[in-house]
């Protein structure tokens, strides 16, 4: 399967960077073709400009500045996101990716005023996330990133598609042991993705 791997952490030496490398290697060892989209390393511009907004509904003109990323999304059969959670949300670069790439004509289209997905070719969805918050604090805040993955993205791809959601909570108090156990879990799940 061709898997689009979206990564959004600015520090390669971080635990997030280690999770990105482990996820990529585990998917490859399972036989998947991995399109490794490291948003920071690629210098992705997350800013939705005035031009972007004015052409937002004008397919294919709306894809002119992000065509390569649109093509990569359309070629994917699986999608895995590796990201930290900051302030109970995605880093700005990842949020900007969704704003600028998941466009009308690419991820959806409006038919008689109703949204229809154009991402049914993606068969599996996965997320590997790190939170500074504890599970309880994330729950009290409504855990928006988890809901985006398990509800919004899943619905855009296929409401019945399997979702692998892995989260290491309480990174502010993590230990070498908690990190090692989480990495083992990520490795096992991604090798079965």
Mean pLDDT along residues 7-19: 97
The predicted-structure confidence for 153-186, as pLDDT tens digits, reads as follows 999 998 988 899 999 999 999 999 999 999 999 9
Mean pLDDT along residues 25-48: 98
For 83, the domain range is 2-191
Q: How confident is the model at residue 110 (pLDDT cuts 50, 70, 90)?
A: confident
Report the percentage of the chain scoring pLDDT > 70. 100
The predicted-structure confidence for 36-46, as pLDDT tens digits, reads as follows 999 999 999 99
| Cα dihedral value 12, 43, 96, 1, nearest 10 | -70
Cα separations in angstroms, 151 against 86, 141, 164, 172? 19, 16, 12, 27
Distance CA(150)–CA(113), nearest Å, equals 25
Residue 75: cis peptide before it, omega within 30 degrees of 0: no
Q: What is the CATH number of the domain that holds 135?
A: 3.40.50.360
Q: How confident is the model at residue 71 (pLDDT cuts 50, 70, 90)?
A: very high
Q: How confident is the model at residue 61 (pLDDT cuts 50, 70, 90)?
A: very high
How many domains does the structure of the chain reveal? 1
Place of tokens 């590796």: 82
CA angle 150, 145, 190 (to 5 degrees): 60
Please tell me the pTM assigned to this model.
Answer: 0.96
Instruction: List the beta bridge partners of residue 5.
Output: 36, 80
What does the pLDDT read at residue 161? Answer: 85
Mean pLDDT along residues 16-38: 98
Mean pLDDT along residues 63-88: 97
């Amino acid at each position: 399967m061709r898997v689009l791997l979206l990564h959004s952490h600015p520090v390669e030496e971080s635990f997030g960077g280690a999770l990105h490398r482990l996820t990529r290697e585990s998917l490859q060892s399972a036989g998947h073709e991995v399109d490794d989209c490291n948003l920071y390393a690629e210098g992705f511009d997350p800013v939705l400009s005035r031009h972007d907004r004015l052409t937002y509904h004008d397919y294919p003109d709306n894809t002119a500045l992000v065509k390569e990323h649109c093509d990569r999304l359309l070629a994917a059969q699986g999608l895995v996101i590796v990201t930290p959670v900051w302030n109970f949300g995605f880093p700005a670069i990842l949020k900007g990716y969704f704003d600028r790439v998941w466009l009308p004509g690419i991820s959806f289209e409006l038919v008689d005023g109703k949204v229809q997905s154009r991402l049914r070719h993606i068969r599996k969805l996965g997320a590997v996330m790190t939170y500074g918050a504890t599970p309880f604090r994330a729950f009290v805040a409504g855990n928006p990133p988890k809901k985006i993955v398990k509800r919004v993205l899943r619905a855009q791809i296929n409401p019945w598609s399997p979702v692998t959601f892995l989260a290491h909570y309480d990174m502010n108090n993590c230990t070498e042991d908690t990190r090692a156990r989480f990495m083992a879990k990520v490795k096992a799940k991604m090798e079965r993705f």
